[in-house]
């Protein structure tokens, strides 16, 4: 059995990663979604292993030290991270897994998981991203300039990715991602091992 493929969906803030991922989940229910570990408390209705893997700070630190996380970050006093074991287990079962994550986290995942397929969600144009960031004009020029330069830096990270998917319409973006998933399964490397094994006995027609 072939291993599954890790797809990492990332892109600049505000590009619509969450919305596209939610739509994709609906269209591709067989795709597994990476579940994060966190030190924050479960909210009502959240389930262990479904929404998050809930960890104490001690457990989380232990995961960091034992390289059990593909990436982690602190956000508003809590830790969040991507457990390697869940990803590995899914892939070894021959299933694909998708991880939706901001650009810095994606680059950390890439360091530890070079065989992943990295997809960068793009705004339809830089002007459109600019309009969104400038927004309703209620913020100071300094804040706007800072956000613009962060967005420019994030866009610059595209060259670390394998694919760019323009999020012009959610359905289009989903179709492109689904095509990328199909195409990655057609990469010739995925066929070579089995083929050469089979070819070893191929010319012998005796058992036909």
Given 75, 139, 156, 169, the residue binding a second copy (CB under 8 A): 156
Given 31, 91, 122, 174, the residue binding a second copy (CB under 8 A): 122
By CB under 8 A, residue 23 contacts a second copy: no
Question: Token pair of 58, please?
Answer: 């001690």
Given 35, 69, 165, 174, the residue binding a second copy (CB under 8 A): 165
- The whole-angstrom distance between residue 151's C-alpha and the CA centroid of its chain comes to 19
Q: Count of CB atoms within 10 A of residue 58's CB?
A: 9
User: Site for a second copy (CB under 8 A): how many residues?
Assistant: 46
Given 55, 163, 167, 174, the residue binding a second copy (CB under 8 A): 163
Phi, psi of 129 (to 5 degrees): -60, -40
Given 2, 61, 93, 134, the residue binding a second copy (CB under 8 A): 134
Mapped onto helix, strand or coil, the DSSP state of residue 186 is: coil
Per-residue b or e along 142-170, where b marks 16 or more CB atoms closer than 10 Å to that residue's CB: eeeeebeeebeebbebbeebebebebeee
Toward a second copy, which CB reaches closer, 63 or 122?
Answer: 122
Residue 129's alpha-carbon distances to 15, 46, 150, in angstroms, are 8, 33, 12
**Rg of the chain over all Cα atoms, to the nearest angstrom:** 20
By CB under 8 A, residue 155 contacts a second copy: yes
Toward a second copy, which CB reaches closer, 40 or 130?
Answer: 130
By CB under 8 A, residue 143 contacts a second copy: no
The residues binding a second copy (CB under 8 A) are 119-120, 122, 125-126, 130-131, 134, 141, 144-145, 148-149, 151-152, 155-156, 158-159, 161-165, 175-176, 178-180, 182-184, 186-188, 190-192, 195-196, 198-199, 202-203, 205, 208
């Amino acid at each position: 059995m072939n291993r599954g493929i890790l797809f990492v969906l990332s892109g600049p803030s505000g590009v619509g990663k969450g919305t596209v991922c939610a739509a994709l989940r609906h269209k591709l229910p067989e795709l597994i979604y990476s579940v994060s570990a966190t030190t924050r408390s479960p909210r009502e209705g959240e389930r262990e292993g479904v929404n998050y893997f809930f960890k104490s700070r001690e457990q989380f630190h232990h995961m960091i030290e034992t390289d059990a996380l593909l990436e982690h970050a602190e956000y508003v006093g809590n830790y969040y991270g991507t457990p390697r074991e869940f990803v590995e287990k899914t892939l070894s079962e021959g299933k694909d897994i998708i991880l939706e994550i901001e650009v810095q986290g994606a680059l950390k995942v890439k360091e530890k998981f070079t065989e992943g397929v990295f997809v960068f969600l793009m705004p339809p144009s830089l002007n459109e991203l600019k309009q969104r960031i400038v927004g309703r004009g209620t913020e100071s020029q300094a804040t706007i300039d800072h956000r613009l330069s962060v967005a420019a830096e994030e866009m610059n990270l595209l060259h670390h990715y394998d694919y760019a998917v323009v999020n012009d319409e959610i359905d289009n973006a989903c179709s492109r991602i689904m095509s990328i998933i199909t195409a990655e399964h057609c990469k010739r490397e995925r066929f070579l091992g089995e083929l050469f094994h089979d070819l070893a006995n191929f010319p012998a027609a005796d058992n036909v």
